[in-house]
Amino acid sequence: MAASATPRLADSDVVAVAFSGGLDSTALLHVATRSGARVLALHVHHGLQPQADEWAVHCEGVAREFGAAFACTRLSGAPGRGDSVEAWAREGRHRALHDMAGAAGVDLLLLAHHRRDQAETFLLQAMRGAGMAGLAGMPKVQWRDGLCWARPWLEQPRELIQAYAEQHGLRWIEDPSNGDARFARNRLRQTVWPAFPSAEAGLAQAARWAQQAEALAAEVAGDDLARLATLERLDLAGLAALSPARASNALRAWLAPHTAAPASLVERLLTEWRPGATLCWPAPGGELHAYRDGLHWAEAAGTFPPPSAVDLSRPGLHPQPGWQGAWLVEPASAGIAPARLARLTQRARAGAEQFQRAPKSALRSLKKACQEAGLPPWRRGGPLLFDAEERLIAVAGLGMDARAFADQDELQLALSWLDDSALPQREGPAGTTA
Ligand X SMILES: Nc1ncnc2c1ncn2[C@@H]1O[C@H](COP(=O)(O)OP(=O)(O)OP(=O)(O)O)[C@@H](O)[C@H]1O
Choosing from 14, 15, 16, 18, the residue that interacts with ligand X (CB under 6 A) is 18
Fill in the DSSP letter of residue 97: H
Q: Is 213 in the site for ligand X (CB under 6 A)?
A: no
Annotated binding-site residue? 22: yes
Annotated binding-site residue? 381: no
> Which CB sits closer to ligand X, 19 or 254?
19
Please name every residue paired with 69 in a beta bridge, in sequence order, or none if there are none. 40
Dist CA 105 CA 26 (whole Å): 23
Q: Name all contacts of 97-102 with Cβ < 8 Å and 24+ positions apart.
A: 97/16, 97/18, 97/42, 97/44, 97/434, 98/144, 98/145, 98/147, 99/1, 99/3, 99/73, 100/3, 100/6, 100/16, 100/42, 100/71, 100/73, 101/16, 101/40, 101/42, 101/147, 102/146, 102/147
Please name every residue paired with 143 in a beta bridge, in sequence order, or none if there are none. 148
User: What are the angstrom distances between the C-alpha of 72 and each of 157, 401, 406, 418?
Assistant: 28, 61, 65, 45
> Which CB sits closer to ligand X, 161 or 396?
161
Q: Which stretch binds ligand X (CB under 6 A): 21-29, 80-88, 207-215, 292-300?
A: 21-29
Site for ligand X in 227-246 (CB under 6 A): none
Site string for ligand X, 321-340 (x = CB under 6 A): --------------------
Q: Which residue is nearest to ligand X (CB)?
A: 22
26 neighbors 34 (Cβ within 8 angstroms) = no
Which candidate, 223, 259, 261, places its Cα nearest to that of 242?
Answer: 223
Site for ligand X in 58-117 (CB under 6 A): 93, 111-113, 117
Dist CA 189 CA 122 (whole Å): 13
Nearest distance in Å: CB 191, ligand X: 18
Site for ligand X in 177-206 (CB under 6 A): 178
Q: Is 25 in the site for ligand X (CB under 6 A)?
A: yes
Number of residues that bind ligand X (CB under 6 A): 18
> Which CB sits closer to ligand X, 93 or 379?
93
Site string for ligand X, 39-58 (x = CB under 6 A): ---xxx--------------
Annotated binding-site residue? 351: no
Choosing from 22, 238, 305, 399, the residue that interacts with ligand X (CB under 6 A) is 22
Q: Which stretch binds ligand X (CB under 6 A): 18-26, 310-318, 354-362, 388-396?
A: 18-26
Annotated binding-site residue? 24: yes
329 neighbors 315 (Cβ within 8 angstroms) = yes
> Which CB sits closer to ligand X, 53 or 223?
53
E-assigned strand segments in 181-251: 234-235
> Which CB sits closer to ligand X, 42 or 228?
42
Fill in the DSSP letter of residue 303: S
Nearest distance in Å: CB 72, ligand X: 8
- Residue 315 one-letter amino acid: P
- Dump the DSSP string for 107-143: -EEE----HHHHHHHHHHHHHTT--HHHHT-S-SEEE
> Which CB sits closer to ligand X, 116 or 380?
116
Site string for ligand X, 116-155 (x = CB under 6 A): -x--------------------------------------
Dist CA 350 CA 333 (whole Å): 30
Q: Which stretch binds ligand X (CB under 6 A): 12-20, 124-132, 267-275, 398-406?
A: 12-20
> Which CB sits closer to ligand X, 18 or 283?
18
Nearest distance in Å: CB 36, ligand X: 21
Dist CA 117 CA 204 (whole Å): 9
Fill in the DSSP letter of residue 340: G
Question: Residue 114's Cα: distance from chain center in Å?
Answer: 26
> Which CB sits closer to ligand X, 152 or 315?
152
- Residue 154 one-letter amino acid: L
Q: Could you give the dihedral angle defined by the CA atoms of residues 196, 200, 201 and 207, in that order, rounded to the nearest 10 degrees?
A: 130
> Which CB sits closer to ligand X, 30 or 380?
30
Q: Is 19 in the site for ligand X (CB under 6 A)?
A: yes
Query: Taking the CB of residue 355, how many other CB atoms lie within 10 A of it?
Result: 25
Residues that bind ligand X (CB under 6 A): 18-20, 22-25, 42-44, 93, 111-113, 117, 175, 178, 434
Binding site members? 20-25
Binding site members for ATP? 20-25
